[in-house]
Amino acid sequence: MKVSKDSVVSLEYRLHLGDGKVVDESEPGHPLSYLHGRGQIVPGLEGQLEGMGSGESKKVVVAPSQGYGEHDPRGLQTVPRDMFPPNAQLQPGMTISAQTEGGDVIPITIRELKGDQVVVDLNHPLAGKTLHFDVTVREVRQATSEELEHGHAHGPGGAH
């Protein structure tokens, strides 16, 4: 079968940002499984996978607006250094995990150290980037009724 809405797709992927340097990839032998058509992967990639069959490979280039969004300058914020653990070795360019008041864990990027102030970037680290994916579809199958009910793909034997 072909990739279409509510199929479960097993995907091997490699992501680079145009220079060939891999910034993310599926683990060897462990493709990413997701429920197609539910917005679980970036929209520009999901749309290009539509209609592909098992064993097919493709290169997909995704503009920022169809990927992790444009870089929003309002995401740059200056916060006091003492918001971070005293022993944290902060360096420009590093990404750390922070917890929001709502309990979500989000990646934030350190942009600049200015004395006792730190400029952080709350945008997704891949915001504003053009994404280059090399993908291979390993398997396409019908979602089970349980998967459709849960809204996500299950692993072998129904594992989450």
Of residues 52 and 153, the one with the C-beta less far from Zn ion: 153
Residues linked to residue 99 through DSSP beta bridges, in sequence order: 105
Q: Could you identify the residue written with the tokens 């340097």?
A: 21
Of residues 117 and 144, the one with the C-beta less far from Zn ion: 144
Of residues 116 and 149, the one with the C-beta less far from Zn ion: 149
Structure tokens of 80? 């006091």
User: 160: number of CA atoms within 13 Å, CB side?
Assistant: 3
Q: How far is the CB of 149 from Zn ion (least distance, A)?
A: 8
Of 71, 89, 150, 157, which one interacts with Zn ion (CB under 5 A)? 150
**x-or-dash string of contact with Zn ion, 101-140, rule CB under 5 A:** ----------------------------------------
- 124 within 8 A of 23, measured Cβ to Cβ: no
Q: Rounded to whole angstroms, how far apart are CA atoms 36 and 6? A: 5
Of residues 42 and 143, the one with the C-beta less far from Zn ion: 143
Q: Rounded to whole angstroms, how far apart are CA atoms 141 and 4? A: 10
Nearest residue to Zn ion, using CB?
Answer: 150
Q: Tell me which residues touch Zn ion (CB under 5 A).
A: 150
